[in-house]
Amino acid sequence: MRVAGKGHTDAAETVHFTFDGQSYAGRKGETLAAALLANGVKLVGRSFKYHRPRGIVTAGSEEPNALVTVGTGGGQDPNVRATTLEIYDGLEVRSQNAWPSLKYDMMSVNDLAAPFLSAGFYYKTFMWPKAFWESLYEPVIRKAAGLGALSGDINDDIYEKAFAHCDLLIIGAGPAGLMAALTAGRAGVDVILADEDSQMGGRLLAETFTVDGQDGADWAADAVSELAAMDNVRLMTRTTITGAYDQGTYGAIEQVGHHVARADAPDLPRECFWRIVAKRAVLCAGALERPIAFPNNDRPGIMMASAVRSYLNRWGVAPGKAVTIFANNDDAHRTAVDLIAAGVKVAGVIDVRADVQAMGDYPLYTSGAVTATKGRLALESITITHAVGTREIRTDCLAMSGGWNPTVHLTCHMNGRPTWDETLLSFVPTDGSIPGLTVAGAAAGHMSTLGALQSGAKGAAAAVADLGVTAKVDVPTAEDDPYRIEACWQVDGKGRKWLDFQNDVHVKDIKLAAQENFRSVEHMKRYTTQGMATDQGKSSNVAALAVLADATGRGIPETGTTTFRPPYVPVSIAAMGAGSQGHGFAPKRLTTSHHASTGRSAPMIEAGLWYRPSYFPAPGEKTWLESCNREVGYVRDAVGVCDVSTLGKIDIQGPDAAAFLDFVYANTFSTLRENRVRYGLMLREDGHVMDDGTTARLGADHYVMTTTTAAAGQVMTHLEWVAQALRPDLDVRFASVTEQWAQFAVAGPRSRALLNTVLDDPITGEDWPFMSCGAVSIGGIEGRLFRISFSGEHAYEIAVPSRYGASLFRLLVAQAEAMEGGAYGMEALNVLRIEKGFITHAEIHGRVTAFDIGMDRMVSRKKDCIGFAASRREGLLDGQRERLVGLRSVNGTDKITAGAHLFVEGADAVSDNDQGYITSVCWSPTLDSHIGLGFVKDGPSRLGEHVVAVDHVRGVTVTCEVCSPVFFDPDGGRVRG
C-alpha cells in the first residue's frame, strides 16, 4: 500500500516488528498505524462492549479503536495508541480484547445479544436477586470488562518527573504554534514549545499546502531549525500538555523511551512527567475531525478524511485501493484531490450538500448520504443515496468527515465552558477560561493555514506584551480558503449508527437515555458511557450532544457539554509517581543512629517515613519479646537510651509566639516560664484531638514545639494554615527543624548519673526539676536538655545538632551499658508508655476528644482556641461516649489483641452490643500481665468491671478487667523524683 514519491520518512531505513506474532516491515519514523496500513492490515482490535471488528480511524492521540499492548512481563504496556506509537526494530505488539484471536473472537457473541444489552442494561438486569451480585454478576462482569491488562509482574522500567519554568508556554507545534514560537522567540522571551508528535509541524506535515511559496512541511522544518538555534527556546517533542492548573501551572507527559527498544537503552526513562510553570501560555492544539453517524459506520477501513491525508502525505501510505469520501464540508474534498494526485483511485465523493462543486476529477454525489456498508472484517462496499437515486459503490476505504472540533479541552480544566459557534458548527474556547492563556489557530476556530499563522503570531505578541516585551509580527503567505460546512450529525437507515467507537455507543442509545429521562448531558454520559473511554470522546462528544439535543427538542448550546477534566491523554500512574516504585514508594528517612542500630542487629520498622529500631537482640535471645523485656528492665531498674529524633520539632519565634500557641493549643502556653516545658493538646476545628506533645520555652519569644512522629507534617501544615488564614495579625514565624537536631531519651533511675558522665557541667535535681529545659554543653558542643519522660521514669531528652548525633548515641549507649543498662527500641518504648497510660496516635486516631481521653480539664475556658466551641457540643461531652481506660487480662497469661471489641459478659458479640474497642496492647514484664489501653462506654465509672474482648479476625476471646489507664506509678513519684 506504499505510494511512490509520497511521505516524509526515509524509505532506506527498514524497521522490523511483529503484530500478533506475525512479522512486518516498516520505515523508521512511522507510527505503528501507518506501518500496519502499509502492510494492508486493517483489522487491529475489538470494541469494548460488543467485540465488533475495528480498524484505524484517526492518525493522532484521539484514536478510539487502534489500542494495542506492547511488550511482555513487568514492562507490559496496555492500551497504547497505534497512531502515536513509533515503530522500532524488535517491537512486539499484540491486539487486545479478543480471544482466542483477533480474527475469531468468541466474545463477539455479545454482538448477537445486542438487543438485550442496550444502554443502561446493567442498571436494570443485575438488581435481582440481590445475592447474585457478589457471587455471579460482578465476577462475570469484571472478567469480561476491560481492554488491555497489566501483567501483574513488577515493572522495573524507569520513570522520571521534572520541573520547568518559562515566560511563554506554547502548546502545539502546528502552523499556529510554530508562528507563535517564532514571534516570541525572536522577541527574546523564554519559550517552551511542546508538541505531542515526534516531529513538529502539525497539519503542515499532512497537507500539500505551501507557506511562503515552499512546501508546508519544508517551511515547518526551517522554522524548527531556527527555533532550535535560539538559546531562549526549548523544543519539547513527544510531549503532551495534559492539564491546566492554578497559577500558570501545566502538567505534561513526555514519551522519552517508547520509540526505542528497552534493550538498546536500558537506562533511558520510559516517560517523564513535567510540571511547567509559565507566566503566559498560547494554546495552539488545533482541531479534531469528527465522524458522521451512519448505519454500520464502524467497519475496518472507515476512517477520518484527514487521517487518510495524513497517511498519504506524511507516511506515503494509501489506506485503500479504491477510496470514497463522505462529508458535509469542503475540507474533506482535499482528500480526494490529494489521492488523485498521488495516483490512488477515488471511487466517489458523497456530499450531503446540494450546491457543492467538485474540486477535481472525481465522481461527486450531491445531496448524498451513506446508508449501508458491507464487509465483516474489512470494508467491501457502501450503499448511498444521492440527488438522482441509490447505488452501491465497491470500496475498501471510506473517508468520512463531519467537520472539525476545535481542541478546547485544556480551556475547560478550570471549570470553564466552551461557546457554541453556529458558523463552525462546533464549540470554541471562551475567552478568559484559563488566566494567562490565549488560544490561537484552529483551536480558536481559525480553520485556514493563513488564519492559523496570523492568530498564532497575534496571540504570542499579545502574551509577550503582557510581559513588557514588544514582538514584531511577520506572517508568511499561505492558503486562506473559507471553511464551509452544513450540519449533518446522523443518517437514517437500517443498522446501528455508531458515535463512541470504543465504548460501542450508538445513536439509539442516546435517544433511549433521553426517553428514560436522562436528559442532562452528564446523566446521558453516565447512562450510556458515551465519552467515557480512553479517548474521552474527543471525536464523538459533539455529535452525541447534537443527537441528544434533537431527542430532547433543545438546541446544542442549551444542551451544553460534559465536563472536560485532566488529563487530556491517558497518563501512566508510574509517570506521575516517578521515583516511587519499589523501595522508593515512600521516602526513606534515617536517623543519625541508624547505622549504629543496624550494627547491633536491630531490625528496623517503619514509623511514618522513618526507620526506627524495633529492639536490640542480645546473644542467646530467641524471640523479640525476650529482648523487649530486657530493655524495659533497663529503664525500670537502671538506664536506657532511645533515639527520639523522629519526633516533629518546630521552632517558633516572634513577639506573638505565646499568643499563637495559646490559639493552636487547647491549654495555655503564654504563662509558661522560660526554661520550662509544658505538655500540650491540639484540637482540630471540629473539636477532636489532632495531636499532643510538649513545647519548651527557650527564650522570651522563642519556643520549640514537639509533635508526634506520625503527625509532624500534619501539624506543620496546620500551623501554616492558622498563621495565614486565621491569625495573620500575629507576628510569628516558625520552621520545621526535625532533621536539624538529633535527640535521645535517657530514662531510668540512673539517667542523671549517665548524663553527668557526658555533660561538661554536671546537673542536679534542684537545678533541673521535672519539666525544665535549657542549654547544655557536651564536649564543647552546644546542645539542649529537656527533663521530660515518656516512660514514667526519671528521664531526660538531650538534643545536639544532627551531625553529632551518631557520635552521641554511641557514647550514651556505651555509658548506659557500663551502668547495667543499654539501648532500647520501639517495642520497649511502647510497653513503657502503655504501663504509664501515655497515648499515641493509636488512641488519638481522629475520632476522640479531650473528654474521651480524660483530658477535658486541659481545654482552657479562659481563652479561645481552635476547636474550643466544637469541643463543647453536648454530644462530645456525653458520659456514655467511649472513653479511655486500661484493660488487664483477668488471667494474666491470656493475650489481649489490639483491635478487639469489648462486650458485657454473657452478651452476644455483635455490633448492637458493642461496648468499645482496644487500641494498644503489650505484655508488661513490670506487672507480669497482658495489659492494654482502649475505649469503653462510660469507661471511668466502670473501673473494676469485667468485659469480654472479642477479636473476630484472629479468633481470640479474653476476659479483661477495666482499670485505670495508668498501670504504673500512678502518683508520678518516680518521674518527679
* pLDDT, tens digit, 9 for 90 and up, residues 340-378: 999 999 999 999 999 999 999 999 999 999 999 999 899
C-alpha cell recorded at residue 716: 506543620
Q: What's the average model confidence in pLDDT over 187-211? A: 96
Q: Dihedral of CA 882/884/889/895: which sign?
A: positive
Q: What's the average model confidence in pLDDT over 627-635? A: 98
What 3-state DSSP class applies to 798?
Answer: strand
* Whether domain 14-116 has CATH 3.10.20.440: yes
Q: What's the average model confidence in pLDDT over 698-707? A: 97
Q: For the chain, give the mean pLDDT.
A: 94
Report pLDDT for 130: 77
Sequence-distant (6+) residues with CB within 8 A of 637 are 748, 749, 820
Report pLDDT for 144: 66
Under a CB-based contact definition with an 8 Å cutoff, are residues 699 and 630 in contact?
Answer: no
Under a CB-based contact definition with an 8 Å cutoff, are residues 791 and 635 in contact?
Answer: yes
Report pLDDT for 141: 73
Q: For 503-557, how does the pLDDT look when each residue is reduced to its tens digit (9 = 90+)?
A: 899 999 999 999 999 999 999 999 898 988 888 889 999 999 999 999 999 999 9
Report pLDDT for 136: 80
CB atoms closer than 10 angstroms to residue 17: 21
Which CATH number is 161-287+406-466's, of 3.50.50.60, 3.40.50.10860, 2.40.50.140, 3.40.640.10? 3.50.50.60
Report pLDDT for 114: 76
Under a CB-based contact definition with an 8 Å cutoff, are residues 797 and 806 in contact?
Answer: no
* Longest CA span, the chain: 112
Distance (Å, whole) CA 263 – CA 410: 36
Q: For 73-130, how does the pLDDT look when each residue is reduced to its tens digit (9 = 90+)?
A: 888 999 999 999 999 999 999 999 898 999 999 888 888 777 777 787 766 776 677 7
Is the model's pLDDT at 918 over the cut of 70? yes
Is the model's pLDDT at 214 over the cut of 90? yes
CB atoms closer than 10 angstroms to residue 734: 19
Q: What's the average model confidence in pLDDT over 226-232? A: 98
Is the model's pLDDT at 580 over the cut of 90? no
* Ramachandran area for residue 379 (φ above 0: left; ψ -120 to 50: alpha; else beta): beta
* Ramachandran area for residue 403 (φ above 0: left; ψ -120 to 50: alpha; else beta): left
Q: What is the DSSP letter of 467?
A: T
Q: Dihedral of CA 811/815/820/821: which sign?
A: negative
Is the model's pLDDT at 847 over the cut of 80? yes
Report pLDDT for 135: 79
Confidence of residue 147 (pLDDT cuts 50, 70, 90): confident
* Ramachandran area for residue 841 (φ above 0: left; ψ -120 to 50: alpha; else beta): alpha
Nearest partner of 333 among 316, 318, 348, judged by Cα: 348
What single letter denotes the amino acid at residue 500? D
Is the model's pLDDT at 11 over the cut of 90? no
Q: What's the average model confidence in pLDDT over 284-294? A: 97
Is the model's pLDDT at 468 over the cut of 70? yes
C-alpha cell recorded at residue 720: 501554616
Any idea how long the chain is?
977
Under a CB-based contact definition with an 8 Å cutoff, are residues 155 and 77 in contact?
Answer: no
Distance (Å, whole) CA 302 – CA 304: 7
Q: Do domains 14-116 and 161-287+406-466 have the same CATH topology?
A: no
Most confident segment among 130-139, 522-531, 585-594, 826-835: 826-835
C-alpha cell recorded at residue 535: 479517548
Give the start-to-end residue ranges of the domains of the chain: 14-116, 161-287+406-466, 496-570, 880-977
Nearest partner of 319 among 310, 328, 327, judged by Cα: 310
Q: What's the average model confidence in pLDDT over 35-53? A: 94
pTM: 0.79
Q: For 412-454, how does the pLDDT look when each residue is reduced to its tens digit (9 = 90+)?
A: 999 999 999 999 999 999 999 999 999 999 999 999 999 999 9
The architecture of the domain spanning 880-977 is Beta Barrel (2.40)
Q: For 377-409, how does the pLDDT look when each residue is reduced to its tens digit (9 = 90+)?
A: 999 999 999 999 999 999 999 999 999 999 999
Sequence-distant (6+) residues with CB within 8 A of 626 are none
Q: For 849-879, how does the pLDDT look when each residue is reduced to its tens digit (9 = 90+)?
A: 999 999 999 999 999 999 999 999 999 999 9
CA 259 to chain centre: 24
Bridge partners (DSSP) of residue 386 are 389
List of E strands, 190-270 = 191-194, 210-211, 214-215, 233-236, 239-245, 249-255
Report pLDDT for 120: 74
Report pLDDT for 211: 96
Q: For 722-754, how does the pLDDT look when each residue is reduced to its tens digit (9 = 90+)?
A: 999 999 999 999 999 999 999 999 999 999 999
